[in-house]
Amino acid sequence: MLRLLLLLFPLAATAQNFDLILETIRSDKAWTLEQQISICQIPAPPFKELERGKEYAKRLGSLGLVDIRTDSEGNIISRWPGSNAPKPLIVFSAHLDTVFPEGMDVTVKKDGAKLKGLGMGDDCRGLASVLTVAKAFQKHKSTFNGTILFVATVGEEGQGDLRGMRHLFTKELKGQVDAFISVDGTGTSLTTRGVGSNRYLVTYKGRGGHSYGAFGMPNPAHAMGRAIARIADIQVPATPKTTFNIGRVEGGTSVNSIPISVSMEVDIRSESASELKTLDERLRAAFQAGLDAEKQRWPNSKAALDLEIKTMGLRPAAEPPDSLPIVQKAMAAAKGAGVTIFATRSGSTDANIPMSLGIPAITIGGGGAAQGSHSIDESYEDTPDSYKGPQWAALILKSLTEK
């Protein structure tokens, strides 16, 4: 009879069987690494996550996830079937995309204790950690007082501009999600605040002409130089950390031509939404001042000089306090997994979107250690306690679904 009852009403993830879940995750350490390597050898350049996504969906299916679908943006969404209640609805996720363009060699190579591979830490580790948690839940037939969606997102990195998350939280799952956890990168970092960023492609355009023959007209390169000089002098607060950078400049035709067009890519960031807004206003004022000053330099010229500002990306900033229950629960769960959190930190991750919408959200490391994230020298080291990453994630899910 008891047996039948248990079949009909499986046990919720109790403290007792959770020890077994943690033990399973620990003993699956090598499996986690295999997943990490094999996922990483499927390329996932920005906007081209499809192939990796397909394979990831297959693996989720083999680990017992149900209702697996790819949404119109490319996110993989699946549901853990062991649920005693529809709410709270928790999204547990990692991102599919890398920063690396198409055509790069994604073979993972052993280099001493390290494994060299593009995206091995960011975010193949997160993707593998999510699968590891699923595998342990499957083995122990875990049920929760809430619903957990296992998700793999697209467009987390720079150019993607969080398009996967935007879609998820403004369309696909709009208004439904109660908490969000992203496993992104390695180690045991706990990101609780979102660094916001605004990115622009700024172009100065003029008539152009011979450097000697047409001399006397506004020069787009000079206008941009004037703007850059103003931007370089902007004072920003150290706390909340606020930064600016002109990362790329290009344009012109030849050394003896007044350019027709020059452009620059500008990135500003802040932990504070209001500081970001203030800096944005000053930045725009500097763009305009560069244009105006160059025009004034040549008052008798009728040649046009124009400014065009294109938005490349906007990531909202958010500063939820560490007193938030999700942060407190994540810290308590860290103790349970034997993970040391020295301080919470701010970052630019998938969690920015829910944070900015007031939805409890955190980003955690997936364990292990990585170096050279976003570089062609990226490497990962599977430290002896790397399993603590997925263990920590599992404990957070348990805690968030406890009444």
Shortest distance in whole angstroms from residue 383 CB to Zn ion:
19
Number of residues binding to Zn ion, judged by CB under 5 A: 3
DSSP string, 346-379: EE-STTHHHHHTT--EEEE--SSEEESTTSTT-E
Shortest distance in whole angstroms from residue 211 CB to Zn ion:
46
> Which of 307/393 has CB closer to Zn ion?
393
Nearest-angstrom CA–CA distance, 97 and 349: 12
What amino acid is encoded at 324 in this protein?
L
Shortest distance in whole angstroms from residue 348 CB to Zn ion:
9
> Which of 295/345 has CB closer to Zn ion?
345
Q: Is 161 in the site for Zn ion (CB under 5 A)?
A: no
Q: Is 123 in the site for Zn ion (CB under 5 A)?
A: yes
Shortest distance in whole angstroms from residue 391 CB to Zn ion:
20
Q: Is 73 in the site for Zn ion (CB under 5 A)?
A: no
Nearest-angstrom CA–CA distance, 248 and 349: 23
Tokens representing 272? Answer: 């504070």
Shortest distance in whole angstroms from residue 123 CB to Zn ion:
4
The count of residues in the chain is 403
Scanning residues 297 to 336, which ones bind Zn ion (CB under 5 A)? none
Tokens representing 197? Answer: 């960023």
Q: Is 122 in the site for Zn ion (CB under 5 A)?
A: yes
Q: Is 97 in the site for Zn ion (CB under 5 A)?
A: no
> Strand 109-111 and strand 190-194: pairing?
unpaired
Stretch that binds Zn ion, among 53-61, 123-131, 215-223, 380-388 (CB under 5 A): 123-131
Stretch that binds Zn ion, among 121-129, 285-293, 321-329, 389-397 (CB under 5 A): 121-129
Residue with tokens 């500063």: 319
Cβ atoms 370, 120 nearer than 8 A: yes
Stretch that binds Zn ion, among 116-124, 194-202, 224-232, 395-403 (CB under 5 A): 116-124
Shortest distance in whole angstroms from residue 254 CB to Zn ion:
41
Q: Cα–chain-centroid distance for residue 343?
A: 20
Q: CA torsion, points 52, 53, 55, 56, in degrees to nearest 10? A: 110
> Which of 184/294 has CB closer to Zn ion?
184
Scanning residues 167 to 186, which ones bind Zn ion (CB under 5 A)? 184
Judge if the upstream peptide bond of residue 45 is cis by omega within 30 degrees of 0.
Answer: no
What is the CB neighbour count within 10 angstroms for residue 243? 13
Shortest distance in whole angstroms from residue 185 CB to Zn ion:
6
Interacting residues with Zn ion (CB under 5 A)? 122-123, 184
